Amino acid sequence: MIIQTIRMKSVTAEGMGTLSVFEAEHDVPFAIKRIYYIHNVPAGVQRGGHAHKKLRQLLWCHLRQNPHHTG
């Protein structure tokens, strides 16, 4: 398995937030054929249960940082 980090370009406008973007043709090292967005999965539920002989994936992670967590 080869893991690469794709850095998203971001533009911040004061008082308007940040726009982040990646372009499939320039930033992703393979052709994107489809996009799945899996959400609202109950805790403890296991998804998938199958395999692919040949597959390249882009994993998009949304991380939440808790600045008040001490452990």
pLDDT digits (tens, 9 = 90+) for 12-34: 998 889 888 888 888 888 888 88
Number of domains in the chain: 1
Give percent helix, percent strand, percent coil of the chain, each to the nearest 5. 5, 15, 80
In a domain, 28, yes or no: yes
Interior angle at CA 71, CA 69 and CA 62, nearest 5: 55
pTM for the structure as a whole: 0.50
In a domain, 69, yes or no: yes
Q: Residue 33 burial (CB < 10 Å; 0-12/13-18/19+)?
A: exposed
pLDDT of the residue at 7: 81
In a domain, 13, yes or no: no
pLDDT of the residue at 71: 62
Answer left, alpha or beta for residue 49, where phi above 0 means left and psi between -120 and 50 means alpha. Answer: left
Where in the sequence is the domain holding 65, given as residue range(s)? 18-40+53-71
